[in-house]
Amino acid sequence: MSSTSSNRQRYNPKFNEICIGNVSSNTEPNTLLRYFERFGSIVQYNFASPTGGFVFIEYKYPSMVDNCMKARPHHIDGHRLYVKRALPVDDEHPRERFETTRDLMVVIDFGDTICDEKEFLSELRDYFSSYGTLYACKYCQEKNFRYILVEFADIDQVDRIILDKPHYYCDHLLDVMKSIPSNFDLMNKKYESNTQQSSVIIKDAIDDNNYDYAKVRNDFSKSKSVAKEPISEIDLENEVYRLQNVLKKMSEEFAIKRQQLEDQFSEQLKQLDANTEQTNLLQRDLEQGK
């Protein structure tokens, strides 16, 4: 759309890498390379420690990376491979290249006068829908800052948006990042001073000489409903949403770990079956020898 755009060159060869994990110890480098060559020409690769870490493969063109990601899941030698786009180092958000998520966060750090909130949300939804299926786009409130949460169907959509930074709305740079715990911590620290300033303004208002303490006491005595609630409805809703995100992340990690254990035990069972068959053959040979 016209008001929201990305100015980054999408075909920079620097971002044509994929990272591969959960490679079987029985998988030979040539086997892995032959498998991934079906998606395009491989420029270079790093196979220094395939069983102890990640394998990095760089394709000639971004479209080849797209083809590889669309073909997920990948299986080699009985292992379901963990395949994602390799992201560059980002000093501002150092954990983004390691953590995956289906959720994107757009921090609201410009004045309300720049746009209408409903219009901004609608245009943002339309813009990010160009990256694929989008489940939700909504305003959220963190401890010290506001943001828009964009939920996608796939982690690769989020990685593509990160690679396509910077993104703009009405010539204003959008603060786009992955919705992960480390980024929430960074943003809460960044905007902490704003919250402290607001607290000072409220305190000054209460300390004003014209403040009617007697009226406030009477208001409290007339109705218990004006008493301060232990937690507001918005805070409660945000906390529920935060816990839902934590649960979602735990579920994803559990699914990955379960798949890894299933692959591991599958290999062990295959080895056990092979050993059992070999033992039976030896036993038959001994019985025939008698």
Report the CATH number at residue 177: 3.30.70.330
Are 80 and 108 found together in one domain? no
Q: DSSP letter string over 14-52?
A: GG-EEEEE---TT--HHHHHHHHGGGS-EEEEE-S-TTT
Domain of residue 112, residue span: 103-190
Which segments of the chain have a pLDDT < 70?
1-14, 48-53, 110-115, 194-239, 241, 289-290
When divided into structural domains, the chain yields a total of 3
Tell me, yes or no, whether 255 lies in a domain: yes
Tens of pLDDT, residues 215-240: 544 544 444 444 444 555 555 666 67
Do 240 and 180 share a structural domain?
Answer: no
Q: Are residues 63 and 122 in the same domain?
A: no
Residue 213 located in a structural domain: no
In this structure, are 81 and 8 located in the same domain? yes
> Would you say residue 286 lies in a domain?
yes
Helices (H), 21-137: 29-36, 62-70, 117-128
> Is there a single domain that holds both residue 175 and residue 110?
yes
Domain boundary among 170, 190, 210: 190
> Is residue 31 in some structural domain?
yes
Contact 167, 5 (CB under 8 A): yes
Distances (CA, A) of 51 to 21, 30, 170, 266: 8, 14, 47, 17
Same domain, 73 and 111: no
- Are 107 and 175 contained in the same domain? yes
Answer yes or no: do 119 and 72 share one domain: no
What pLDDT is attached to residue 3?
61
Residues 180 and 119 in one domain: yes
Q: What is the pLDDT of residue 139?
A: 93
Check residue 225 and report its DSSP letter: G
The confidence score (pLDDT) of residue 197 equals: 52
Q: Of the residues 190, 217, 247, which one is the last residue of a structural domain?
A: 190
C-alpha angle 138-182-16 in degrees, rounded to nearest 5 = 85
Domain match, 185 and 262 both: no
Whether 107 is covered by a domain: the verdict is yes
Q: Tell me the two tokens of residue 241.
A: 């949403």
Of 25, 52, 85, the one marking the end of a domain is 85
Q: Is residue 216 domain-resident? A: no
In a domain, 159, yes or no: yes
Looking at the fold, whether 164 and 238 belong to one and the same domain comes out as no
Reduced to 3 states (helix: H, G, I; strand: E, B; else coil), residue 197 is helix
pLDDT at res. 202: 37
Residues 81 and 154 in one domain: no
Quick check: is 201 in a domain? no
